[in-house]
Structure 1
Amino acid sequence: MTSTGAVRPGGRTARVREAVRRATLAELAEKGYEGLTVEGVALRSGVHKTTVYRRWGSVEGLAADALDLAGGEPWPVPDTGTIEEDLRELTRLVVTGFADPETGPISTAFISASARNPVVAGALHAFFAARHEQSAPLVTRAVERGELPVGTDAADLVRTAVAPLYYRLFISGEPVDERVADRAAAAALAAARAGVLQEP
């Protein structure tokens, strides 16, 4: 991905980048990654095709930059007062996100693209790393309340909680619902309480 430039917030480059990001997401939602084209994004965003090619280079660059912007946005990390409810809310958030008719196809397209292209795969890795960092307070609060052992790895706890959901969604094709989400959260919590997810 080529550089998109760095300017003051609200500058022309920032506005162009946001317009292209919105257009990229809309194209992904409607057509999937297979149907994503530079021409389609340029037309939808109102940004000249030459500019899109110069700054993003390809559909891989467009997808990667959209993920980069998304990674910097706030994530509604649950704060219910207990780690049990927090994890349950977190796993349910994943389920409802993929079931949403607007956001679900976009998330699916990103994952599909990451399996095919190393540029998008790297961007998706960075996106999840940002999400893990944002979810760290969930574990910090639980340790302070005495609900989890000191040294529990926040990223590993989140991975353990959501991994069964992604397996069903993208590997086995089995149904995913709130019951499955709650079981995944409970299994992750049991592992954490047993000390399995403590940092080395």
Structure 2
Amino acid sequence: MSARPGTVRPGGRTARVRTAVLRAAGDILAEHGFAHLDLADVARRAGVGKTTVYRRWGSVTGLVTDLLAELAHDAAPHRETGSLPGDLRAYALLVQREAADARQGALLRAVVAAAPCDGRTAAALRRFFEVRVEEWVPCVEQGVARGELPAGTDAAAVVRAVSAPLHQELLTTGVAPAPHAAECAARAAYAAAVAGAYAGAAPVTGR
């Protein structure tokens, strides 16, 4: 049984072919959107045989799945600053820089637009975001251990709270958020976490 695209990182010529194909696919997505992503066109841009692309990826969704896996793998590792506000700020600015990147911002918008119409693309996109969140969860967990946040804080929810408004701005306006927006997102997520917003279910109150 063959491995899912993106789960094995090959070496040698296979690695060079994969790199060229994923670069070509990303360029087409960023320039023209998901609807114009065609395996034959990708093969031409990458300078490889069409048969190679069809045999390895099989379909457009297989290629996009691998592309998202590669983007998640290559994302900058989490940065520990010694305080949770500093860590959240570092993450927010990373998301902002990625959104402001002409290629990656456009690529993300294209995949998000396609996801509701294709289950496999939607699953790959979810996994992309999961990997990004998992990378930064230890920063929040360390903040809990230092007593900066209440015990029982959902670390993943805090990380998502930082990036969500930035991705929302990119996807709904088509304009990348500014660094100031990243600063605001980090401060808002931290303030909510300190207040206990992510520390378990809210208590049920009587009427």
Calculate the TM-score normalised by the size of structure 2: 0.83
- Do 1:98 and 1:108's aligned partners in 2 also have CA atoms closer than 8 Å? no
- CA distance in 2 between partners of 1:8 and 1:39 (Å): 23
C-alpha spacing 1:143/1:28, structure 2 compared with 1 (3 Å): same
Shift of 1:23: 1.9
The yes-or-no answer on 1:77 pairing with 2:70 is no
Shift of 1:199: 4.7
Secondary structure at 1:110's aligned position in 2?
A: helix
- CA distance in 1 between partners of 2:85 and 2:12 (Å): 44
Shift of 1:6: 7.8
Shift of 1:134: 0.8
Shift of 1:55: 2.4
Aligned residue for 2:40?
Answer: 39
Report which stretch shifted further, 68-77 or 188-197.
68-77
Shift of 1:32: 2.7
User: Which amino acid in 2 is paired with 1:150?
Assistant: A
User: Which amino acid in 1 is paired with 2:169?
Assistant: R
Secondary structure at 1:105's aligned position in 2?
A: helix
- CA distance in 2 between partners of 1:6 and 1:130 (Å): 13
Aligned residue for 2:189?
Answer: 188
Report which stretch shifted further, 92-101 or 118-127.
92-101
C-alpha spacing 1:26/1:86, structure 2 compared with 1 (3 Å): same
Secondary structure at 1:180's aligned position in 2?
A: helix
C-alpha spacing 1:128/1:31, structure 2 compared with 1 (3 Å): same
User: Which amino acid in 2 is paired with 1:32?
Assistant: G
Unaligned stretches of 5+ residues in structure 1: none
The one-character-per-residue Cα deviations of 1:72-113 (angstroms, maximum 9, x if unpaired) are 335332322221122122222222211122322222222222
- Do 2:34 and 2:114's aligned partners in 1 also have CA atoms closer than 8 Å? yes
- Do 1:20 and 1:42's aligned partners in 2 also have CA atoms closer than 8 Å? yes
Aligned residue for 2:205?
Answer: none
Shift of 1:66: 0.7
- CA distance in 2 between partners of 1:174 and 1:10 (Å): 37
Count of residue correspondences: 200
Unaligned stretches of 5+ residues in structure 2: 202-207
Aligned residue for 1:89?
Answer: 90
- CA distance in 1 between partners of 2:134 and 2:7 (Å): 24
- CA distance in 1 between partners of 2:44 and 2:124 (Å): 24
Report which stretch shifted further, 58-67 or 25-34.
25-34
